[in-house]
Homo-oligomer: A and B are copies of this chain.
């Protein structure tokens, strides 16, 4: 139930981020819906295909597509009348990243997979939709702006897994994990934090 809600919220905020990106790139109305849908279902679809979970979440449960349609339509109405707050794309993206990373990790965990794979699967679930959105709207993927994007996801998943180890109740572990990802990501953007670069060759 908690997990289902997280997934729905993640889908909604990624849909918002898709519309914002489509608007910036000058796409049309349908392009907005298409990018909203791709961003919102990209990560979870990859997760379900890799873990062989069929039917895929948005095929099994049409509510996901409805949520995307509504979230996208509301965002479009909003941006026609008001300019979106400056960092709205970054914030919606960070929340989607956090929710999907933890939900992807949870599903991999409940499939009995090893921690290393849980981390990788969570990171892929969290980042795939946004990466798809950025490639499709011809922007440099946020994941490559190097402000601790995948790093934030991995940090939150590791915290989530450690809390579980310490018998923290799952809902608390989920909450802390999401907050860690959001916090790391937002601080990274605000303060321009990044990991050391690999030694630049030639």
Contacts and interface: CB of A to CB of B under 8 A. Distances in A.
Given A52-B54, A83-B202, A202-B83, A197 B62 contact: no
A39 interface: no
Contact of A30 (B29, B50, B154): B154
Interface in A4-36: 19-20, 22-24, 26-32, 34
Contacts of A19: 198
A104 to B, nearest CB: 13
Contacts of A26: 197-198, 200
A22 B198 contact: yes
Give the interface residue-count category, chain A: 35 or more
A80 B199 contact: yes
Interface in A40-85: 45, 49-52, 54-56, 58-59, 62, 65-66, 69, 76, 79-80, 83-84
A146 B56 contact: no
A150 interface: yes
A56 B50 contact: yes
Contact of A198 (B28, B144, B194): B28
A110 interface: no
Interface of A: 19-20, 22-24, 26-32, 34, 37, 45, 49-52, 54-56, 58-59, 62, 65-66, 69, 76, 79-80, 83-84, 113-114, 116-117, 120-121, 123, 136, 138, 144, 146, 150-151, 154, 194-202
19 contacts: A23-B200, A26-B198, A26-B200, A27-B146, A27-B197, A28-B198, A31-B144, A31-B150, A50-B59, A51-B55, A52-B55, A58-B117, A59-B117, A62-B116, A62-B117, A65-B120, A66-B116, A79-B199, A80-B199
